Chain A
Protein backbone atom coordinates (compact mmCIF):
# COMPACT_ATOMS: atom_id res chain seq x y z
CA UNK A 1 0.00 0.00 0.00
CA UNK A 2 1.34 3.42 -0.94
CA UNK A 3 0.83 5.80 1.97
CA UNK A 4 0.49 8.84 -0.30
CA UNK A 5 -2.49 7.43 -2.23
CA UNK A 6 -5.26 8.47 0.22
CA UNK A 7 -3.71 11.93 0.58
CA UNK A 8 -3.58 12.39 -3.21
CA UNK A 9 -7.19 11.14 -3.60
CA UNK A 10 -8.64 13.25 -0.77
CA UNK A 11 -6.80 16.51 -1.45
CA UNK A 12 -7.23 16.17 -5.23
CA UNK A 13 -10.98 15.58 -4.96
CA UNK A 14 -11.44 18.46 -2.48
CA UNK A 15 -9.58 20.79 -4.85
CA UNK A 16 -11.57 19.67 -7.91
CA UNK A 17 -14.86 19.93 -5.96
CA UNK A 18 -13.96 23.54 -5.11
CA UNK A 19 -13.37 24.28 -8.79
CA UNK A 20 -16.66 22.61 -9.80
CA UNK A 21 -18.56 24.53 -7.10
CA UNK A 22 -17.11 27.78 -8.46
CA UNK A 23 -18.17 26.61 -11.95
CA UNK A 24 -21.71 25.94 -10.68
CA UNK A 25 -21.90 29.42 -9.14
CA UNK A 26 -20.74 30.95 -12.45
CA UNK A 27 -23.26 28.94 -14.45
CA UNK A 28 -26.36 29.05 -12.21
CA UNK A 29 -25.64 31.74 -9.60
CA UNK A 30 -24.63 31.50 -5.94
CA UNK A 31 -27.98 30.33 -4.51
CA UNK A 32 -28.49 27.47 -6.98
CA UNK A 33 -24.81 26.45 -6.94
CA UNK A 34 -24.78 26.12 -3.16
CA UNK A 35 -28.16 24.33 -3.17
CA UNK A 36 -26.82 21.77 -5.65
CA UNK A 37 -23.72 20.94 -3.58
CA UNK A 38 -25.69 20.71 -0.30
CA UNK A 39 -28.37 18.52 -1.91
CA UNK A 40 -25.69 16.37 -3.56
CA UNK A 41 -24.07 15.69 -0.16
CA UNK A 42 -27.48 15.03 1.44
CA UNK A 43 -28.39 12.74 -1.45
CA UNK A 44 -25.26 10.56 -1.43
CA UNK A 45 -24.20 10.42 2.23
CA UNK A 46 -27.20 8.36 3.52
CA UNK A 47 -26.75 5.79 0.74
CA UNK A 48 -22.98 5.59 1.36
CA UNK A 49 -23.64 5.30 5.11
CA UNK A 50 -26.04 2.40 4.51
CA UNK A 51 -23.42 0.69 2.33
CA UNK A 52 -20.71 1.00 4.99
CA UNK A 53 -22.93 0.11 7.97
CA UNK A 54 -24.43 -2.81 6.01
CA UNK A 55 -20.94 -4.28 5.60
CA UNK A 56 -20.75 -3.94 1.80
CA UNK A 57 -17.49 -1.97 1.88
CA UNK A 58 -15.20 -0.03 4.20
CA UNK A 59 -13.23 3.19 4.01
CA UNK A 60 -10.91 2.23 6.86
CA UNK A 61 -8.18 0.41 4.90
CA UNK A 62 -5.70 3.23 5.56
CA UNK A 63 -6.66 3.80 9.19
CA UNK A 64 -3.59 3.97 11.47
CA UNK A 65 -1.23 3.72 8.48
CA UNK A 66 -0.15 7.37 8.57
CA UNK A 67 -0.49 7.92 12.33
CA UNK A 68 -1.80 5.83 15.28
CA UNK A 69 -5.19 7.54 15.60
CA UNK A 70 -5.56 8.82 12.05
CA UNK A 71 -8.57 7.18 10.32
CA UNK A 72 -7.04 7.38 6.82
CA UNK A 73 -8.83 10.53 5.67
CA UNK A 74 -9.00 13.98 7.23
CA UNK A 75 -12.66 15.00 6.80
CA UNK A 76 -15.60 12.71 7.54
CA UNK A 77 -19.39 12.86 7.43
CA UNK A 78 -20.14 10.23 10.06
CA UNK A 79 -18.64 7.02 8.67
CA UNK A 80 -18.22 8.33 5.12
CA UNK A 81 -15.23 10.46 4.01
CA UNK A 82 -16.29 13.90 2.77
CA UNK A 83 -14.30 13.54 -0.45
CA UNK A 84 -16.48 10.56 -1.46
CA UNK A 85 -19.65 12.68 -1.34
CA UNK A 86 -17.85 15.49 -3.15
CA UNK A 87 -16.75 13.03 -5.85
CA UNK A 88 -20.43 12.30 -6.48
CA UNK A 89 -21.08 16.04 -6.67
CA UNK A 90 -18.39 16.50 -9.35
CA UNK A 91 -19.70 13.68 -11.54
CA UNK A 92 -23.41 14.50 -11.12
CA UNK A 93 -23.07 18.22 -11.85
CA UNK A 94 -20.71 17.71 -14.81
CA UNK A 95 -23.01 15.18 -16.43
CA UNK A 96 -26.02 17.42 -15.72
CA UNK A 97 -24.37 20.39 -17.47
CA UNK A 98 -23.17 18.27 -20.39
CA UNK A 99 -26.59 16.93 -21.32
CA UNK A 100 -29.09 19.53 -20.09
CA UNK A 101 -27.11 22.60 -21.16
CA UNK A 102 -25.13 21.54 -24.21
CA UNK A 103 -25.72 18.14 -25.84
CA UNK A 104 -29.51 17.88 -25.73
CA UNK A 105 -31.09 20.94 -24.09
CA UNK A 106 -34.29 20.67 -26.14
CA UNK A 107 -34.90 16.99 -25.49
CA UNK A 108 -37.00 15.66 -22.64
CA UNK A 109 -35.36 15.80 -19.23
CA UNK A 110 -35.71 12.02 -19.00
CA UNK A 111 -33.44 11.51 -22.04
CA UNK A 112 -30.78 13.83 -20.61
CA UNK A 113 -30.99 12.10 -17.23
CA UNK A 114 -30.60 8.66 -18.87
CA UNK A 115 -27.53 9.83 -20.77
CA UNK A 116 -26.11 11.46 -17.63
CA UNK A 117 -26.55 8.15 -15.76
CA UNK A 118 -24.74 6.24 -18.52
CA UNK A 119 -21.86 8.73 -18.56
CA UNK A 120 -21.54 8.40 -14.79
CA UNK A 121 -21.34 4.60 -15.10
CA UNK A 122 -18.65 5.07 -17.73
CA UNK A 123 -16.65 7.28 -15.35
CA UNK A 124 -17.13 4.80 -12.51
CA UNK A 125 -15.88 1.90 -14.65
CA UNK A 126 -12.53 3.66 -14.32
CA UNK A 127 -12.78 5.08 -10.79
CA UNK A 128 -13.98 2.03 -8.86
CA UNK A 129 -11.48 -0.64 -10.05
CA UNK A 130 -8.55 1.77 -9.54
CA UNK A 131 -9.84 2.88 -6.12
CA UNK A 132 -10.47 -0.64 -4.83
CA UNK A 133 -7.09 -1.87 -6.16
CA UNK A 134 -5.48 0.96 -4.19
CA UNK A 135 -7.62 0.26 -1.09
CA UNK A 136 -9.22 3.73 -1.09
CA UNK A 137 -12.26 1.66 -0.27
CA UNK A 138 -12.48 -2.11 0.03
CA UNK A 139 -15.39 -4.27 -1.12
CA UNK A 140 -16.00 -6.83 1.59
CA UNK A 141 -18.22 -9.26 -0.34
CA UNK A 142 -18.13 -8.43 -4.07
CA UNK A 143 -20.31 -11.34 -5.30
CA UNK A 144 -20.77 -11.08 -9.09
CA UNK A 145 -18.06 -8.56 -9.92
CA UNK A 146 -15.97 -6.80 -12.55
CA UNK A 147 -12.32 -6.27 -11.50
CA UNK A 148 -13.31 -6.81 -7.88
CA UNK A 149 -16.20 -4.32 -8.03
CA UNK A 150 -19.74 -5.71 -7.63
CA UNK A 151 -21.98 -5.31 -10.68
CA UNK A 152 -24.75 -3.77 -8.55
CA UNK A 153 -22.38 -0.90 -7.73
CA UNK A 154 -22.48 0.22 -11.37
CA UNK A 155 -26.28 0.02 -11.49
CA UNK A 156 -26.26 1.97 -8.24
CA UNK A 157 -24.21 4.70 -9.89
CA UNK A 158 -26.71 4.83 -12.73
CA UNK A 159 -29.73 5.07 -10.42
CA UNK A 160 -28.18 7.71 -8.17
CA UNK A 161 -27.05 10.02 -10.97
CA UNK A 162 -30.25 9.45 -13.01
CA UNK A 163 -32.59 10.40 -10.15
CA UNK A 164 -30.42 13.23 -8.85
CA UNK A 165 -30.25 14.67 -12.37
CA UNK A 166 -34.06 14.64 -12.51
CA UNK A 167 -34.23 16.34 -9.09
CA UNK A 168 -31.83 19.12 -10.17
CA UNK A 169 -33.78 19.83 -13.36
CA UNK A 170 -37.29 19.49 -11.92
CA UNK A 171 -36.71 21.36 -8.66
CA UNK A 172 -33.40 23.28 -8.36
CA UNK A 173 -32.40 24.92 -11.65
CA UNK A 174 -36.03 25.01 -12.86
CA UNK A 175 -39.38 24.02 -11.44
CA UNK A 176 -41.51 21.38 -13.15
CA UNK A 177 -44.07 18.79 -12.08
CA UNK A 178 -42.73 15.26 -11.61
CA UNK A 179 -45.55 13.14 -12.95
CA UNK A 180 -44.90 9.89 -11.04
CA UNK A 181 -44.79 11.83 -7.76
CA UNK A 182 -47.66 14.23 -8.52
CA UNK A 183 -50.22 12.13 -6.64
CA UNK A 184 -48.29 12.50 -3.37
CA UNK A 185 -47.21 16.09 -4.04
CA UNK A 186 -50.76 17.26 -4.72
CA UNK A 187 -51.85 15.79 -1.38
CA UNK A 188 -49.07 17.66 0.45
CA UNK A 189 -49.05 20.98 -1.42
CA UNK A 190 -51.56 23.25 -3.12
CA UNK A 191 -50.06 24.48 -6.37
CA UNK A 192 -51.57 27.60 -7.94
CA UNK A 193 -51.01 26.29 -11.46
CA UNK A 194 -50.31 22.89 -12.99
CA UNK A 195 -46.93 23.97 -14.37
CA UNK A 196 -45.80 25.13 -10.89
CA UNK A 197 -44.40 28.35 -12.38
CA UNK A 198 -45.70 30.50 -9.51
CA UNK A 199 -44.42 28.21 -6.74
CA UNK A 200 -42.86 30.27 -3.92
CA UNK A 201 -39.37 29.75 -2.53
CA UNK A 202 -40.51 28.14 0.76
CA UNK A 203 -42.86 25.77 -1.03
CA UNK A 204 -40.09 24.95 -3.51
CA UNK A 205 -37.70 24.09 -0.68
CA UNK A 206 -40.31 21.80 0.90
CA UNK A 207 -40.96 20.22 -2.49
CA UNK A 208 -37.23 19.60 -2.88
CA UNK A 209 -37.08 17.81 0.48
CA UNK A 210 -40.14 15.67 -0.33
CA UNK A 211 -38.80 14.69 -3.75
CA UNK A 212 -35.33 13.89 -2.41
CA UNK A 213 -36.72 11.71 0.38
CA UNK A 214 -39.15 9.84 -1.89
CA UNK A 215 -36.59 9.20 -4.62
CA UNK A 216 -33.88 8.32 -2.09
CA UNK A 217 -36.18 5.58 -0.78
CA UNK A 218 -36.71 4.34 -4.36
CA UNK A 219 -32.92 4.22 -4.97
CA UNK A 220 -32.22 2.43 -1.66
CA UNK A 221 -34.90 -0.20 -2.33
CA UNK A 222 -33.55 -0.65 -5.88
CA UNK A 223 -29.98 -1.00 -4.64
CA UNK A 224 -30.83 -3.43 -1.86
CA UNK A 225 -32.84 -5.56 -4.30
CA UNK A 226 -30.01 -5.59 -6.84
CA UNK A 227 -27.44 -6.41 -4.15
CA UNK A 228 -29.57 -9.36 -3.03
CA UNK A 229 -30.12 -10.66 -6.59
CA UNK A 230 -26.57 -10.14 -7.92
Chain B
Protein backbone atom coordinates (compact mmCIF):
# COMPACT_ATOMS: atom_id res chain seq x y z
CA UNK B 1 0.00 0.00 0.00
CA UNK B 2 1.30 3.42 -0.91
CA UNK B 3 2.14 5.63 2.07
CA UNK B 4 0.63 9.07 2.17
CA UNK B 5 3.39 11.55 2.96
CA UNK B 6 2.85 13.70 6.02
CA UNK B 7 3.12 16.81 3.89
CA UNK B 8 -0.26 16.09 2.33
CA UNK B 9 -1.90 16.39 5.72
CA UNK B 10 0.04 19.50 6.69
CA UNK B 11 -0.99 21.40 3.56
CA UNK B 12 -4.64 21.03 4.54
CA UNK B 13 -4.06 23.37 7.49
CA UNK B 14 -4.64 26.97 6.67
CA UNK B 15 -1.52 28.52 8.12
CA UNK B 16 0.12 31.72 7.01
CA UNK B 17 3.90 31.44 6.89
CA UNK B 18 5.55 34.72 7.81
CA UNK B 19 8.27 35.96 5.47
CA UNK B 20 11.54 37.34 6.93
CA UNK B 21 10.42 40.89 6.05
CA UNK B 22 7.13 40.40 7.92
CA UNK B 23 8.96 38.89 10.90
CA UNK B 24 11.25 41.93 10.95
CA UNK B 25 8.12 44.13 10.99
CA UNK B 26 6.75 42.34 14.04
CA UNK B 27 10.12 42.53 15.82
CA UNK B 28 10.25 46.27 15.15
CA UNK B 29 6.73 46.68 16.51
CA UNK B 30 7.74 44.90 19.73
CA UNK B 31 10.64 47.34 19.93
CA UNK B 32 8.05 50.13 19.69
CA UNK B 33 5.90 48.71 22.50
CA UNK B 34 8.89 48.29 24.80
CA UNK B 35 9.96 51.78 23.71
CA UNK B 36 6.75 53.24 25.15
CA UNK B 37 7.40 51.53 28.48
CA UNK B 38 10.99 52.80 28.53
CA UNK B 39 9.77 56.30 27.60
CA UNK B 40 7.47 56.39 30.64
CA UNK B 41 10.30 55.10 32.84
CA UNK B 42 12.42 58.02 31.59
CA UNK B 43 9.54 60.39 32.39
CA UNK B 44 9.42 58.94 35.93
CA UNK B 45 13.16 59.32 36.34
CA UNK B 46 13.32 62.90 35.00
CA UNK B 47 9.95 64.11 36.29
CA UNK B 48 7.73 63.15 39.23
CA UNK B 49 7.12 59.61 40.48
CA UNK B 50 3.54 58.46 41.18
CA UNK B 51 2.65 60.52 44.25
CA UNK B 52 -0.14 58.30 45.55
CA UNK B 53 2.24 55.34 45.92
CA UNK B 54 4.05 57.00 48.83
CA UNK B 55 1.21 56.06 51.19
CA UNK B 56 2.25 52.38 50.90
CA UNK B 57 5.33 53.03 53.01
CA UNK B 58 8.18 53.17 50.52
CA UNK B 59 9.45 56.46 49.16
CA UNK B 60 7.89 57.81 46.01
CA UNK B 61 10.60 56.83 43.55
CA UNK B 62 11.23 53.34 45.01
CA UNK B 63 7.50 52.60 45.13
CA UNK B 64 7.04 53.84 41.58
CA UNK B 65 9.87 51.66 40.31
CA UNK B 66 8.52 48.58 42.14
CA UNK B 67 5.07 49.29 40.71
CA UNK B 68 6.50 49.73 37.21
CA UNK B 69 8.46 46.48 37.39
CA UNK B 70 5.30 44.62 38.50
CA UNK B 71 3.33 46.15 35.64
CA UNK B 72 6.10 45.66 33.09
CA UNK B 73 6.63 41.97 33.87
CA UNK B 74 3.68 40.50 31.90
CA UNK B 75 4.46 42.75 28.92
CA UNK B 76 8.13 41.75 28.89
CA UNK B 77 7.21 38.05 29.23
CA UNK B 78 4.81 38.31 26.27
CA UNK B 79 7.28 40.29 24.14
CA UNK B 80 10.08 37.80 24.84
CA UNK B 81 7.71 34.94 23.93
CA UNK B 82 6.91 36.70 20.64
CA UNK B 83 10.60 37.22 19.86
CA UNK B 84 11.32 33.57 20.71
CA UNK B 85 8.60 32.34 18.37
CA UNK B 86 9.88 34.55 15.58
CA UNK B 87 13.29 32.84 15.59
Interface positions of A (Cβ within 8 A of B): 1-2, 4-5, 8-9, 12-13, 16-17, 19-20, 22-28, 87, 90-91, 93-95, 97-98, 101-103, 105-106, 119, 122-123, 125-127, 129-131, 133-134, 136, 147-148
Contact = CB atoms under 8 A, between A and B. Distances in A.
Secondary structure of the A side of the interface? helix
B58 interface: no
Given A8-B42, A122-B74, A130-B64, A147 B36 contact: no
Contacts of B48: 1-2, 133-134
A19 B36 CA distance: 11
Contact of B36 (A23, A91, A101, A148): A91
Contacts of A136: 43
Interface in B40-64: 40, 42-44, 46-53, 64
Given A4-B46, A9-B39, A23-B28, A98 B72 contact: no
A5 B27 CA distance: 28
Nearest to B68: A126
Given A16-B35, A126-B72, A102 B86 contact: yes
B28 A126 contact: no
Contact size range, B: 35 or more
A19 B16 CA distance: 24
Given A5-B43, A119-B75, A126-B68, 9 more contacts: A23-B25, A28-B22, A90-B33, A91-B36, A119-B74, A122-B74, A126-B37, A126-B72, A133-B52
B81 interface: yes
B51 A123 contact: no
B26 A23 contact: yes
A2 B47 contact: yes
Contact of A26 (B24, B35, B39): B24
A147 B71 CA distance: 14
A101 B75 CA distance: 16
B53 to A, nearest CB: 7
A98 B82 contact: yes
26 contacts: A2-B46, A2-B47, A4-B47, A8-B46, A23-B25, A23-B26, A23-B29, A23-B31, A25-B25, A26-B25, A26-B28, A27-B26, A87-B36, A91-B33, A91-B36, A94-B32, A94-B33, A97-B30, A103-B78, A106-B15, A122-B71, A123-B37, A125-B71, A130-B40, A133-B48, A148-B51
Contacts of A105: 15-16
